[in-house]
A and B are shown apart, each in its own frame.
Chain A
């Protein structure tokens, strides 16, 4: 083992205490700390810019750290356009509708696919994966024309439908796997006790697939909250702007000059909900990603 050199980080799979090869251990630690700093610095710097005074955020050359703390930029964002609340409530409304639709569609389809012998099942499953093969970017023209006819342009429901399209393959795939993971004995016991398919669905299955439900809702929220292109096209009236579209409008600003401090405050408003949810539900996020790599 003397051939082990500095470019050989110790690995847990080797089944020995990591500290047993001191030099490598410290090197790996230093690399980790460096990477952490590198990855976090854009977020931290954006946050610092957002709490500078508006003047300091515009200064050339820029400062790394705020000299004076100020909520000026956040006040500006709160009062921007029709008021931050308009855009926040649009984004939250679209996300809530997308979550509800994703849950309904994926729970029913996932259960049906996992537990019934349906003729042509795999073909149906492939059709449900269609949004993976037909990119939604290509469907925006026909959807735009249809939504205009149905009165769904500039509507929260219309945008939520597009966001649901994006999430259907992942959600159905995940819920099908979740339902397939429920032991058959439980279901058989319920049938022997005389329950109908609907009853065993509600009383036996649903409680056992809660982690799958959380994951579906989580991904639907993140996708919807962050989606840009469809929101840009469908929400062209200022009353209908979602947060990402508001951010671009803030950047464009007045008379072409970018208000950098307000822009970074807006970026923070957009990012912070995602970070909080990630920190709280990290387990679901990562396991969802792994089981649904089909996405």
Chain B
């Protein structure tokens, strides 16, 4: 470790480029964002100070409340699905046999493709007329007539959840596999000698020991879902009747479609506060598990 005065300076110079980059492209823009949120700036001009008017408007904006509520609903439904399914798949594929390793690799595959591309893929699969989901359900006699997935908000929500689950379930699974593999052989063997069944060992040993990872994946999934945009923009376009706008989508709509940057900025600040709290908890947990 270099610790003399000149070494401290050299060390600081090494860190400087990244520090300057983040200050200029993250911290400073955030300060600007807060400033813009107190103005009536639009893409077409303006910029007069309006005090808290944008925030007052945000709390009275029924469509923003609806968007926040929809985002929360989406998050609260998809996060447990990702955790339970991810953990189940991890239990299945954690042992390093060739078939299970291959299964693991295949489940993880959609994680590397784009959410935009996968959403367009599923938009096609769920299409009323040319979509293979309807075709398969009709051929299996599950339904008599093709379903129209995107004219009801609830069905559209489920179409999005199915597609996103396919796309990201491998992310949590991979982290859970690492956690499961890290559980000591001795503990499991001792439990087996004591006559514990497989389910008992999962419930009493594997699950408790993996609680920090489960919490981490829960936070990562929840934060990602609270920021959902691509999948809704592509698959539902916010419809039907504006029922599937998420918070980010509503910010995009106000800022870049209606050109109301001041109002969009206020909405962005509110979103940042929500995400900040969850992310701070995530970093705290990660640094603690890294210190162990």
Residues of A in contact with B (beta carbons under 8 Å apart): 1, 3-5, 7-15, 18, 28-29, 31-32, 35-36, 39-40, 42-43, 45-46, 49, 57-62, 64, 101, 104-106, 108-109, 111-113, 115-119, 124, 126-135, 137-146, 161-162, 164-165, 168, 172, 184, 197, 222, 225-229, 232-233, 244, 247-248, 251, 260, 263-264, 266-267, 270-271, 274-275, 277-278, 282, 285-286, 289-290, 293-295
A271 contact set on B, CB distance < 8 A: 113-114, 117
- Inter-chain contact B130/A260, CB cutoff 8 Å: yes
Give me 10 other A-B pairs in contact (C-beta within 8 A), A165-B26, A228-B230, A270-B117 excluded.
A11-B188, A119-B8, A138-B33, A139-B268, A168-B21, A226-B117, A229-B248, A271-B113, A290-B175, A294-B283
12 contacts between A and B (CB under 8 A): A13-B95, A14-B192, A32-B92, A64-B132, A109-B14, A112-B12, A115-B11, A131-B26, A134-B26, A140-B255, A172-B18, A251-B234
CA distance A59 to B255 in the complex (A): 39
Given A135-B275, A141-B33, A228-B229, check contact A42 B1 (CB 8 Å).
no
- Inter-chain contact B107/A116, CB cutoff 8 Å: no
Return the CB mask of B128-144 against A: 1 if under 8 Å, else 0: 01111011001000000
- Inter-chain contact B114/A226, CB cutoff 8 Å: yes
Number of B positions contacting A (CB below 8 A): 109
Is B79's CB within 8 Å of the partner chain A?
no
Output the least CB separation between B144 and chain A (Å). Answer: 13
Is B155's CB within 8 Å of the partner chain A?
no
Q: Which of A35, A135, A146, A161 contacts B107 (CB 8 A)?
A: A35
A128 contact set on B, CB distance < 8 A: 18-19, 22
| Interface SS of B by simple majority | helix
Return the CB mask of B148-192 against A: 1 if under 8 Å, else 0: 000000000000000000100001001100100101010011001
Chain B residue at smallest Cβ distance from A63: B135
Given A40-B106, A146-B29, check contact A124 B17 (CB 8 Å).
no
- Inter-chain contact B129/A289, CB cutoff 8 Å: no
Q: Which of A5, A117, A124, A229 contacts B229 (CB 8 A)?
A: A229
- Inter-chain contact B261/A60, CB cutoff 8 Å: no
Q: Which of A4, A36, A119 contacts B103 (CB 8 A)?
A: A36
A247 contact set on B, CB distance < 8 A: 116-117, 120
- Inter-chain contact A222/B21, CB cutoff 8 Å: no
| Interface SS of A by simple majority | helix
Chain A residue at smallest Cβ distance from B21: A105
A109 contact set on B, CB distance < 8 A: 14-15, 17-19
Given A12-B95, A127-B27, A142-B36, check contact A117 B216 (CB 8 Å).
no
- Inter-chain contact B105/A282, CB cutoff 8 Å: yes
A184 contact set on B, CB distance < 8 A: 1
- Inter-chain contact B21/A137, CB cutoff 8 Å: no
Given A64-B132, A116-B1, check contact A138 B269 (CB 8 Å).
yes
A141 contact set on B, CB distance < 8 A: 33, 36, 255, 261, 264-265, 268
Output the least CB separation between A208 and chain B (Å). Answer: 17
Return the CB mask of B45-78 against A: 1 if under 8 Å, else 0: 0000000000000000000000000000000000
CA distance A77 to B2 in the complex (A): 56
- Inter-chain contact B115/A228, CB cutoff 8 Å: yes
- Inter-chain contact A248/B116, CB cutoff 8 Å: yes
- Inter-chain contact A142/B108, CB cutoff 8 Å: no
Given A131-B26, A197-B2, A260-B130, check contact A290 B229 (CB 8 Å).
no
CA distance A31 to B106 in the complex (A): 13
- Inter-chain contact A42/B121, CB cutoff 8 Å: yes
CA distance A168 to B26 in the complex (A): 11
- Inter-chain contact B286/A293, CB cutoff 8 Å: yes
- Inter-chain contact B27/A130, CB cutoff 8 Å: yes
- Inter-chain contact B121/A13, CB cutoff 8 Å: no
Output the least CB separation between A113 and chain B (Å). Answer: 6
Given A18-B97, A131-B26, check contact A267 B117 (CB 8 Å).
yes
CA distance A146 to B24 in the complex (A): 11
CA distance A107 to B18 in the complex (A): 9
Chain B residue at smallest Cβ distance from A28: B92
Q: Which 10 pairs, one residue from A and one from B, show the smallest C-beta to C-beta distance?
A: A116-B11, A112-B14, A226-B114, A12-B95, A8-B198, A109-B18, A142-B29, A138-B268, A142-B32, A244-B116
